[in-house]
Amino acid sequence: MACGKLLPALYLRDFFGQLASTTRIIGVATAKHDSLSYRNLTREAIKAKVKLKDLKEDILAKFLQRLFYVRVGNEEIGFASLKELLDERPDYLRMFYLAIPPTSFADLCHKISTYELATSTSRIILEKPIGLDRESAKHINAIVESAFSEDRIYRVDHYLCKETVQNLVVLRFANVLFEPVWNSRYIDHVQITVAEKIGILGRKNYYDLVGALRDMVQNHILQLLCLVAMEPPCTLTSDRIRDEKLAVLRSLKPILPKEVCTFTVRGQYDRGVCRCEPVLSYREEVGNSDSQTETFVALKVEVNNCRWAGVPFYLRTGKRMPSTSSDIVVTFKEPPKHIFNNQQNIIDKPNRLVIKLRPDDGAKLLLTTKNPESSKGDFQFVSFGASLSANYNAEALGAYEKLIAYLISGNQTFFMRHDEIESAWRWIDTIIEGWKVTPSSLRFYRSGTWGPMEAVDFIKKDGRMWYEEPFYTDNANEDQS
């Protein structure tokens, strides 16, 4: 029913006058609700999520009257009732938002087709993950495409709706100082980190099935990599941007099963301390003392094309980390230092562009400058940057609110195409196969740390270190994506 995020976001769209007066929202699930109890549940969700200044009783009351509920526990009664409700307004645009397990996509799409719920203009929205491997993703895509044309299918990756992520395209291609140096001649390596303080938050059945590689890398992190690495699109239309992302996915060097111990590190959190409180191990949380599910992944990835030849991309994600943070760090090669040989203090730190997705959103350049307080001309490392949230209306930057606006307008730019999904899975599947034949590669790390020590050694052997900042705070938004 998606009360947690989607309905509060819909309320905010209504609050800002962006929903048509005739809009109806119909919740469909197996839970024992009726429209009245569904509205009460939604009221509580909105009051828990929406800022007090945006809570207006008259607008909330009007919004709740848009809501209806249909229980589909008995498919003959449930879907027939849904069809009857939809047929009251046959000419209206229908958007089917499937916030359900991927194993249920095909069955529900079949029912939408069987009961003739969709019109020729209807749209369908699929929450990630799309499948659990390439074969299941292909199957889901085939079933969905039998009921909806590709231009009416919206595969959601919430990271693509984040303002800072969308600004990657503008940052790269609208600023002349970046594109000329955005290549292997000037860039040493790229790091992408998505870290979470939280554990699995009651999602044990789902998470123990998928793990961090499927849950975060296959979609969120690979999409970030694509935006960093892609070539300039000939236009900013949705298909041209997605063509360039697809080219990156097809250029990823496969990590063969025999190479997983060299190019990957996978870990699982053990007992530890988070927010000054002791926490259980992952195996204790899921009630499976033999679970091989990874909650941490580090990867060394190569993009096999002319632009990125020899530039490693280090990807890292994990739960029960010291902070909640998502960063893209582009590290530039160091210039020759021979003209500064006589300086007493040469800071041996490279220039970096740090793109922050959360808890702050913005970008900064880390540069070497002269220390004005030193009479010897010593160097210092300084930061020049800007925060999006400090310069723009924060309410306008919410990923779900932007998602809804794109769905209504029909803009597919920041949704995934079927060939992107399948290409990403093709690359991920090889790693999963390697892990299956090397189960001993699972490492354990203490909750509240940055993962297994092997992840530090993994990048250190290349003469590099993970980039970490101390400024992340406990009040960061830790909602699951």
Q: Which amino acids are annotated catalytic?
A: 220
Quote the tokens at residue 382: 């300084």
